[in-house]
Amino acid sequence: MQNIKIILDSIVENYKTILKDNLIGIYIHGSLAMDCFNPDISDIDFLVVVKENINANDKRKLVDILLELSKDGPGKGLEMSVLLEKVVKNFKHPTPYILHYSNAYKATYEANHSYLCEDGEDPDLAAHITITRARGICIYGSSIEDIFSPVPRKDYLKSIYFDIANSREEIIKLPMYTILNLSRVLYYLKEDVICSKKRGWTMGML
């Protein structure tokens, strides 16, 4: 696997070239931001914030960069959502995105060069933005504090409940991931602390 810094530097330089002055910032969240990244089983999660919408050609260029980097990337690949500045500064739930990429869509992106997962709403983004505000890392552009408005607690709760809604079925297929995720949610409900799955498990065992 490529060095994580090389992957992140490549994302920044390529996205600056494609988006030019439209790019406001790129922000890491998830395990990499929370210091519990495992290259074998983790993904690189990040949000991209732009001033205005992007044409289909440039959206596809952003995706193609990730497809190329995923060839020698972490075990679970990369996950990205592109959000408009006006959306993250005036939060709503579920949160609109203008482009999304993850391993779940990788095969479709590879098979159909005209395909784009675009212009939808994602309930998970409330959790992603909350974690970005609490523990995120800005790797390019404006500071997190200047760009992301707070997510209301009720919307964060809706988001994490949505994420664990299928735990009864998922625990059979992905026992470790599901148990760690449930531990993190339980710790937040008990202590109001946003933490990694690893930290949630550790505190849950005390």
The pLDDT assigned to 185 comes to 85
Residues comprising the chain, all counted: 206
d(CA 60, CA 129): 24
Choosing from 121, 149, 177, the residue where a domain stops is 149
Residue 27's nearest CA partner among 40, 36, 39, 15 is 15
Residue 150's nearest CA partner among 195, 103, 206, 92 is 92
The pLDDT assigned to 199 comes to 72
Contacts of 89 (CB under 8 A, 6+ apart): 147, 148, 149
Residues 28 and 129 placed together within one structural domain of the fold: yes
- Confidence class for position 196, pLDDT limits 50, 70, 90: confident
Residues 29 and 122 placed together within one structural domain of the fold: yes
Residues 95 and 194 placed together within one structural domain of the fold: no
SS3 assignment, position 174: coil
d(CA 6, CA 1): 10
Which is more confidently placed, 155 or 185?
Answer: 155
Instruction: Show the tokens assigned to 23.
Output: 């790019």
Helix (H) or strand (E) holding 86: helix 85-89
The pLDDT assigned to 14 comes to 99
Instruction: Show the tokens assigned to 135.
Output: 């523990």
Examine the pLDDT at 202 and tell me if it is beyond 60.
yes
Residues 109 and 14 placed together within one structural domain of the fold: yes
Cβ contact 2:73 at 8 Å:
yes
Cβ contact 15:65 at 8 Å:
yes
Examine the pLDDT at 192 and tell me if it is beyond 90.
no
The pLDDT assigned to 205 comes to 56
The pLDDT assigned to 198 comes to 67
171: in domain:
yes
Residue corresponding to tokens 């390529």? 14
How far is residue 138 CA from its own chain's centroid? 13
Examine the pLDDT at 1 and tell me if it is beyond 80.
no
Number of domains in the chain: 2
Residue 96's nearest CA partner among 55, 130, 61, 53 is 53
Residues 132 and 192 placed together within one structural domain of the fold: no
138: in domain:
yes
The residue segments making up the domain with residue 97 are 4-149
51-101, pLDDT tens digit by residue?
A: 999 999 999 999 999 999 999 999 899 999 999 999 999 999 999 999 999
18-62, pLDDT tens digit by residue?
A: 999 999 999 999 999 988 898 888 999 999 999 999 999 999 999
115-160, pLDDT tens digit by residue?
A: 999 999 999 999 999 999 999 999 999 999 999 999 999 999 999 9
The pLDDT assigned to 151 comes to 98
Residues 144 and 182 placed together within one structural domain of the fold: no
Residues 183 and 145 placed together within one structural domain of the fold: no
Sign of torsion, CA 158 163 169 171? negative
The pLDDT assigned to 187 comes to 82
